[in-house]
Amino acid sequence: MKTDVPVLFAEDVIARRVAELGREIGEALAGREVCVLGLMKGSLVFMADLVRRIPLDLTMHLVRVSSSRDKGQGRVLTEIVYTTNVPLDGRDLLLVDDIVDTGITLSYLLGHLYEHGASSVKVCALVDKPESRKIGVRPDWSAFTVEGAAAEGFLVGYGLDWMERFRGLPYIGSIPRPGAP
């Protein structure tokens, strides 16, 4: 028995959208040696499905970023805490992200990847929440855009967690935002 989290995007809806994205990405990156870089852990399930729908010979890598709030100045400190041996120099990367929310994580990672010699970085996110953006970055592709009333909930499942729970749900569900009244 898993849980009874209300469904926002059902399994079949996700599967159709992932297949569509795979085709689009395959066309956009045709002829390149693509290195897929998954942002752990939230994008693991999405990445596993997506790579099987991209009709290109690609390599797979992982990166993990940790963000914490600096108590003194209130800044968000972002750092890379784990990465597989990613070949960056002159590479065409496809960064697979779970949720682009404030954009802080994505903007930090893009800066890092270009600084270390990536020749291009395309971004495919599972969910884009454009209304929460604090830094002006946007994914090249996103499976779903969540805005308005739907953005008030906290998304879980299909790799997304709340305190490490719910990652194994086969669909994307929405729970009341933790801490909301």
CA angle in degrees (0–180, nearest 5) for 119-136-70: 100
Write down the least CB distance from residue 161 to Mg ion, Å.
5
Q: Which does 96 bind (CB under 5 to 8 A by kind): ligand IMP, Mg ion, none?
A: none
Residue nearest to Mg ion (CB): 42
Q: Which spans of this chain sit near Mg ion (rule: CB under 5 A)?
A: 42
Q: Which does 99 bind (CB under 5 to 8 A by kind): ligand IMP, Mg ion, none?
A: ligand IMP
Q: Cβ closer to ligand IMP: 27 or 147? A: 147
CA torsion 136-140-141-146 (nearest 10°) is 10
Q: Which spans of this chain sit near ligand IMP (rule: CB under 6 A)?
A: 42, 98-106, 154-155, 160
Q: Which does 100 bind (CB under 5 to 8 A by kind): Mg ion, ligand IMP, none?
A: ligand IMP
Write down the least CB distance from residue 156 to ligand IMP, Å.
6
- What tokens appear for 17 in the block? 């959208």
Cis peptide before 122 (omega within 30 of 0): no
Q: Is 101 a catalytic residue?
A: yes
Distances (CA, A) of 139 to 95, 100, 121, 178: 9, 8, 10, 26
Active-site hit among 49, 97, 98, 101: 101
d(Cα 97, Cα 127) in Å, to the nearest integer? 8
What residues are labeled active site?
101
